[in-house]
Amino acid sequence: MRPDGGADVTCLDGQPAVQIALCDGVLLAIGNTEHRMRRDPRSGHLAPLDILDRPARILVPGRDPAPVDLPTGTVDAVTATDGGFVLLLTVSLSAPEPRGRQLVSIATDGAVRLGPILELYSNLSSASLSPNPLRLYTQKTVYRVLDDLTVEPIRPVSHHGLRLGLIGDRPWTVTYRPRGIGRRGWWPGTGPDDLPPREAGQWLFVLLDKDSDRPTTVVPLSTPLTTAGRHHRRHGLTGRQRRNRAPPGRERRRPRPRV
């Protein structure tokens, strides 16, 4: 994308990418790795999303796509690092634990290095990785990623919300607008007057200080389905509204008024 709004488009392959990372002109593209359903917009029927046998590939302009041999699992997070990429995978295990988490290093030439199974017990559905220094952020803990792809805890996360992400090395979260009750009180504010008006949105996007988790920016949202990015020193925020529509021929009926 250019500052004037134009764009230079180069097609590297015809496969969809759910997650991407860029390192020294090399693009790591990862297709869908999660077993989930999608509703067809025309028929209204549910169908499973396709999962490729090798969903990750290295893309370089002027070269053929180079598939990457990853363990079978769900990619929870990805980031570019010096000389390559690091991924967090949820993989299937035998009893007694049905699933485990594993860090994977990928060089720009596609070489893969697997880390050990990690003992992480928090929900990693919205985990994030940050580079330089390499950190793993979960909803409960911030971890330091070591050279052998193991982790050690740095500090707990003081507040966690519905979603978690990173802008550069700064974490962000999405949370409900507080009501001033419970342990959280009026966080991320100090009182109702310290927050955006309720009619502006029932969710809040909160940008946090990278060291103290102190809220530095609070933006009202009309949807929790939000992504954030960074361009130089400016931060960008996008959201999408999820609408639940009934399939054709099964429109919802209005509830009868109670007498």
Amino acid at 107: A
Structure tokens at 76: 């929870």
Is residue 203 situated within a structural domain? yes
Alpha carbon of residue 116 to chain centroid: 22
Domain span at 229: 158-243
pLDDT tens-place values along the chain, 259 residues long: 566 666 666 667 777 778 889 998 899 988 877 666 667 777 777 766 666 667 889 999 888 899 998 888 888 889 999 889 999 988 877 655 667 889 999 999 999 999 999 887 655 556 888 888 898 988 788 899 999 999 999 888 776 677 777 777 788 888 888 888 877 788 888 888 888 888 888 888 888 887 788 888 888 888 776 666 554 455 454 444 443 333 344 444 444 444 3
Number of domains in the chain: 1
| 215 occurs within a structural domain | yes
The reply to whether 209 falls in a domain is yes
- On whether residue 179 sits in a domain, the answer given is yes
pLDDT of residue 151: 95
CA distance to 6, 10, 132, 166, 239, per residue, from 229 (Å): 19, 22, 17, 8, 12
pLDDT tens, position by position, 90-122: 887 765 566 788 999 999 999 999 999 988 765
Q: What is the pLDDT of residue 49?
A: 63
pLDDT value of residue 31: 82
> Residue 129 domain-assigned?
no
pLDDT for the residue 131: 86
CA 4 centroid distance within chain: 29
Q: Does 216 map to a domain?
A: yes
Is the whole model's pTM more than 0.85, yes or no? no
Asked if residue 222 belongs to a domain, the reply is yes
Q: Tell me how far apart the alpha carbons of residues 121 and 94 are, in angstroms, rounded to a whole number.
A: 17
The C-alpha atoms of residue 198 and residue 177 are separated, in whole angstroms, by 8
pLDDT per residue over 190-232, tens digit each? 888 888 888 888 888 888 887 788 888 888 888 776 666 554 4
Could you list the beta-strand ranges (E) of 84-186: 84-92, 99-107, 112-118, 128-130, 135-137, 141-145, 151-156, 163-167, 170-176
Report how far apart, in Å, the C-alpha atoms of 163 and of each of 37, 93, 125, 211, 256 are.
21, 26, 9, 19, 36
169 lies in some domain = yes
Q: Write down the H helix ranges in 71-172.
A: none
